[in-house]
Structure 1
């Protein structure tokens, strides 16, 4: 089980990524059930070597807040509290939403981890 916080009306948690044996800890990650995909800030992803390469296709994603260009990378693992999945594709983008966010957890990761979100207790945990 992992605690969640509400900050300025946003449901936040932290998350860890591993890419080529390098770990990145993200502190302000939005839990976004309305987003289809999980996104990480390009500036932070580059710190552990997640960079766009020639064969990475850049594409536009759109949502309620607008649209942005991203590329996809498969990371070795993603961890939220004690929940973890391996070989998971995330999107990398600028994340210029007007909020101080380092990443966004989308429905793809929430489903993969089979999470249950309790907004009354402010917890997120796996239903496994």
Structure 2
């Protein structure tokens, strides 16, 4: 087991942990906002990243708050900060991938797409909404 000695005050480290947690929260929120329409699996993965990021950020703040002015960061807090940065990276990566997939799914129809018009011999098709359909199919009440 090895330790890294950091000669800094507690306030700087707490501000760094808060900034990392806040950036992760913002990126995760953007990822969640842009995945509401498609890809439920990636939405679940990003949601899990969001939960992990919040938990790691809270753990960092609690863990770092109990150190004296000259702190000895153990391997545990190094691992937690590494996990937090990794979650930030993967959340941002998931945001980029989901954006690219959405752009591919919502591409405009190509010039080779042929739209056929009904011929005059075909009957007209009327589209009826559900309310009109339910009123038409409901039995008539007699007075």
User: Does the alignment reach a TM-score above 0.5?
Assistant: no
The structure richer in helix per residue is: 2
Normalized against structure 1, the TM-score is what? 0.21
Query: Which of 1 and 2 has greater Rg?
Result: 2
